[in-house]
């Protein structure tokens, strides 16, 4: 009896799961940034400092833009998303710098509110100009485009802060100050400007979808703008608010007298610990509120899209 042996026509294809593009950018860029930092510390070559500043400032925002490419619909082309990132960064920082120099002259609570009003207003104006050129609007696109404008602003702002930290050293250039600034802002970036402008973007596009045109003169847009301004002001004023709360919760009559006279308050170790905890807790609460608002908006978008099919 003759036996026949069967052979597979083709070898089985092994499908390897690839990392999403945003994850590849984040991991690869992070490794390159870390390598540049180490080499700069070892060799003392200051020519690498601009690379540290630019890669560190743009890494997280650019990773988000890569993520946004896969979340936006066909209306938001790569060109539009890139333009939103660039205009949000350059025009946003320029406009905010001019207005803050003209109208904000102190670091009090009113000063922080003024900064929030100006920076969120400038980003909203950039987003409005981008929205006017679209023929159709959805909350999904508002979230994506708004976050892109916000991350563009954050990238250029982070580069500015890192450059400023470079010259804060008492003995020459402070490379350590640059690295600390980049690490801190890299961690905090996803919970700041990107979230805030995504909220105003969703409101702006929701109104535009109902009215058939983009407009700033609508209650939802105003409410969203004031809400993110409050979040922005609380974020910036976290250190001042922490000191104020610490003094109100644990202050002694002598410390209150020092504060009224404008003298630096001599804090106890327990008060310093409480101040440190509050300085961390207040921005964390601020970030959670912003994240919760974006999640609520994203859930509404999904429900609306499911109901449409």
Residue 109's nearest CA partner among 232, 194, 226 is: 232
The torsion angle over the Cα atoms of residues 268, 232, 186 and 285, rounded to 10 degrees, is 60
- Name the residue ranges covered by the structural domains of the chain: 21-226
Three-state SS letters, 236-278:
HCHHHHHHHHHHHHHCCHHHHHHHHCCCCCCCCHHHHHHHHHH
- Global pTM reads 0.86
pLDDT digits (tens, 9 = 90+) for 62-106: 998 888 777 777 778 888 888 999 999 998 888 888 888 877 776
For residue 133, give the DSSP letter: T
pLDDT at position 12: 59
CA atoms within 13 A on the CB side of 285: 11
User: How far is it, in rounded angstroms, from Cα 3 to Cα 22?
Assistant: 54
pLDDT digits (tens, 9 = 90+) for 35-66: 999 999 999 888 999 999 999 999 999 998 88
104 alpha carbon, distance to own chain's centre: 22
pLDDT digits (tens, 9 = 90+) for 221-273: 999 999 999 999 999 888 888 888 888 888 888 877 777 777 777 778 888 88
């Amino acid at each position: 009896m003759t036996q026949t042996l069967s052979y597979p026509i083709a070898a089985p294809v092994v499908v390897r799961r690839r990392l999403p593009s945003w994850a590849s950018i984040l991991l690869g860029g992070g490794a390159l940034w870390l390598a540049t930092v180490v080499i700069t510390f070892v060799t003392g070559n200051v020519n690498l400092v601009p690379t540290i500043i630019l890669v560190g400032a743009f890494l997280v925002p650019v990773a988000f833009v890569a993520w946004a490419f896969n979340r936006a619909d066909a209306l938001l082309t790569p060109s539009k998303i890139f333009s939103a990132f660039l205009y949000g960064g350059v025009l946003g920082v320029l406009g905010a710098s001019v207005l803050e120099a003209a109208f904000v002259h102190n670091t009090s609570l009113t000063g922080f509110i003024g900064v929030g009003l100006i920076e969120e207003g400038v980003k909203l104006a950039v987003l409005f100009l981008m929205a006017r050129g679209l023929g159709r609007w959805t909350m999904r696109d508002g979230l994506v485009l708004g976050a892109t404008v916000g991350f563009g602003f954050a990238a250029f702002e982070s580069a500015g802060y890192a450059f400023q930290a470079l010259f804060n050293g008492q003995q020459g250039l402070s490379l350590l100050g640059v690295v600390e600034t980049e690490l801190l802002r890299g961690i905090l970036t996803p919970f700041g400007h990107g979230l805030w402008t995504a909220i105003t973007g969703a409101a702006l596009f929701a109104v535009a979808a109902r009215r058939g045109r983009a407009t700033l003169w609508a209650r939802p847009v105003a409410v969203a703008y004031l809400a993110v301004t409050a979040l922005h002001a609380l974020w910036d004023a976290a250190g001042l608010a922490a000191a104020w709360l610490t003094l109100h919760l644990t202050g002694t009559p002598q410390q209150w007298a020092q504060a009224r006279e404008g003298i630096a308050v001599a804090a106890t170790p327990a008060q310093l610990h409480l101040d440190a905890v509050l300085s961390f807790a207040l921005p964390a609460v601020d970030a959670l509120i912003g994240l919760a608002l974006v999640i609520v908006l994203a859930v509404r978008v999904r429900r609306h899209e499911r109901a449409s099919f």
